[in-house]
Chains A and B, each alone.
Chain A
Amino acid sequence: MTAFCRAAAAGVLAIVVGLAVWPLQAQQDKSPDAALARLLQAARAALPGACAQPAADRLVRILCSGRIRIGVRDYYPLFSSRDGDDREGYEVDVGQAIGRQLGVAVEFDRVNAATRIPLLAEDRVDLVIATMGHNTQRDGQARFIRPHYYQSETTVVGPRSLAVSGWQDIPGRTVCVTVGNGSNAELVARDARLMLFDEAGVLPERLKDGTCTLAAQDDSFFAESFTDPAFAERYAQKFGFAQVPWGMAVARDGSAQLARALDLISQIFHRDGVFLELGRAHRIGTGFLEQQQAAWQRPECNTDTGAANDVCVLPPFNAELKPTPFAGGVAAFEAWFESWTGIELSLPMLATAPAWAMFKDGVANSLILIVGALLATLGFALLFGRALGSRSAPLRWPVRLLTVTLQSSPIVLTLVIAAAIARALFPFSDAVALGASIAALGLTNGSNAGQAISEAMLTLRTEQALPRGGRDLFARALSRSATQIVAFLVNAAKGTPIASFIGAPELLSALTDITSFSSGRATTYTLLLIYYTAVVMIVVWLCGRLRLLLERRQAMASA
């Protein structure tokens, strides 16, 4: 009986324990660790037979060869750099940790921004860990591993003493950027003026030598500069924007199992703080990694389906710009032109909707600016001419002083002064920038033309051909100084592109903005030069007609 009771009790206990343990076992089965173990076990079980199969997944081939080929960058300080055969950096250590997790050796290969995706497609590397932002455009070119192993943002860096703390301080300021950076569009939309550079590597130096007051670039790029105490003492990160998650990537074809394994490894690395520890070891920014560790420790994310859960993973950065309705026709024309002439033509201003809108606004604003500058020049010329030619010393001398001042001020400085005063009076806007430019160009050229009118008045008085003063004298002085007036009108029209220096949204400014986030700089600036030269030639022709009219009047008056 006792034995029976003991057996029964043991049986009940076993059932209770079994029932109690069963859910726990089921929970463990759904963990990313168990899912990874099952995946690797299944892949290894297929060896060595699967090694000979041409359609074998890359995971199987990696396990067969006992090595994984990882594409990394050669020079991206703190993340991946190379000194002879030695490589170091956060991404290098992530690659090594993945190799250990898979139980294979790691072979690093050099990639750069242009080759990292093609090398995957050509099966020359199995995986790239190469500072690659995950965006919607690249989603069609490679399979990105999620969760992302890092996240960067564009950071605006400037002198500590400079009072810039957010977007409200950006309108009208010049920001140094690299051509083709996706975040440039955001700066343009916030009314920043861009100074373009081909390579990010020059930005810290341009900050130091004062060429750039502000520079915007990926925070991972500036991370190394801020490890230099002298740089960190003088400069600070003012604010950040345009966060982009960085993704490891594998080829889209033949890598389903490898991608799944890496998804799970990435989950585990976040949850267990592996990424975070590696980040701290290499002194990169770890704010994102800390957030991700907390996220992947949450029960709803710490499962074998966490990488597919939209609540847990970050979406790719949406870098796609809406094409224009005629973008297809533009592309066809570019291709036809290249096949016909052999010259690569690129028309970025016609390809995307934001660029097209900026281009149209730029053309309209440049015409407004030219007409405004011509009218302002003519108006100021008449005012200055009348005042400088006046016999009243209290009127003549202040205007003479103003004329000498304007003549002594380079046009760039006059524009900056006009913009500074306009901004003190009105909130910054495109209209204010255009208005300040028109005033500056009109004053500079109008004062010179006015001086010519007053000199003509003086000569007419000297000749004593006319009674002193009066409208007739002024009209004849206008006719006599027609050549000078026309010269300064043409000069005003020619000078309008310089208004872009103070943020006036004319065509040069618009095209600089467009080329900052697209290609085709050579074509764009060639077309711009043709456009402005043609417009100035039209102004020259119109001014020539005006001069003839004035000279004819003088001839009639003399007769």
Chain B
Amino acid sequence: MSLIGRLSSDFLPLFLGGMAVNFEIATIAIAVGLALGLMLALARLAGGVMAGAAASAIGLMRAAPTFVVMFFLLNAVPRDATLFGEPFALSGVMIVALSLVPYSAAYVADSGVEALRQFRGGSLPGALLFLPNVTRAFFVLVMSSSAGAAIGVTEGITIILRQAEQLPALGDRLVLFAIGIVLFGIPLQAGFAVMSFIQRRLGRFVARRTADAA
């Protein structure tokens, strides 16, 4: 029987559903990262004690390994924890998303500081580079969200690994993994294409504005 025949009939819909979870995790992580990272960027440029504290926080977040943060959130936050009097039980998706926040916030903060410096220096094109940078970070987060497989979150890689366990031959499993890489690679490469497109359009827009001003 061919590999396609051995794959369960619901593999593709399950995989696409799993990939949707990857995008959901990345969306949460980048949204929280944007909010936190921009605040840190502003604090970093404010100077004084605040800038020092923000720099230290960014350094720590940059160094925190995502996978360890994920296990920390999974095991160190009590199941019956409360926040402002409300139950605060984290779902698997939220645990993975929050574990990616230190990376996304540190990245946004670094990019934000650079963008704000460029903007204050009068370089709008330099400041607008913030947008493709955030888009790049988003797709890195989509790929990184596959770490959720380690704690049982049903994302794209989890679906592939479950399917692979049913295939006894190494050759079949490698072909399945290759399919997974292609399926993950398509949105990733498409994302990078979108990023390039945004960069080009921004370049033209800024060039037009500069020409108009002149």
Contacts and interface: CB of A to CB of B under 8 A. Distances in A.
Interface of A: 159, 161-163, 176, 195-196, 198, 206, 209-213, 404-405, 407-413, 416-417, 420-421, 424, 494-498, 500-501, 508, 512, 515, 521-522, 524-526, 528-529, 532-533, 536-537, 540
Interface of B: 59-60, 62-69, 71-72, 74-76, 78-79, 143-144, 146-147, 149-152, 154, 156-158, 160-162, 164-166, 168, 170, 173-174, 177, 180-182, 184-185, 188-189
Contacts of A206: 152
A438 to B, nearest CB: 16
B68 A529 contact: yes
A500 B65 CA distance: 13
Given A211-B152, A417-B174, A532 B68 contact: yes
The 7 closest A-B pairs by CB, nearest first: A408-B185, A410-B146, A211-B152, A536-B63, A497-B67, A521-B75, A522-B76
Nearest to B92: A211
B179 to A, nearest CB: 11
A517 B59 CA distance: 35
23 contacts: A161-B166, A198-B79, A206-B152, A210-B154, A211-B158, A404-B185, A405-B185, A407-B185, A408-B185, A410-B143, A420-B174, A421-B174, A495-B67, A497-B65, A498-B147, A508-B67, A515-B75, A525-B74, A526-B76, A529-B69, A532-B65, A536-B63, A536-B65
Dominant secondary structure at the B interface: helix
B147 A521 contact: no
A27 B68 CA distance: 68
Contacts of A524: 75
A410 B184 contact: yes
Nearest to A498: B67
A152 B79 CA distance: 29
B63 A533 contact: yes
Given A420-B174, A537-B63, A501 B184 contact: no
Contacts of A210: 154, 158, 162
Given A411-B143, A495-B67, 16 more contacts: A161-B166, A163-B168, A206-B152, A404-B189, A405-B185, A407-B188, A408-B181, A408-B184, A409-B184, A420-B170, A420-B177, A424-B170, A497-B71, A498-B67, A500-B150, A522-B76
B68 A508 contact: yes
Contacts of A196: 75
A478 B198 CA distance: 30
A409 B181 contact: yes
A362 to B, nearest CB: 13
B194 to A, nearest CB: 15
A554 B187 CA distance: 37
Contact of B71 (A420, A525, A533, A540): A525
A526 B69 CA distance: 9
- Residue picked from B72, B79, B149, B173, most chain A C-beta under 10 Å: B72
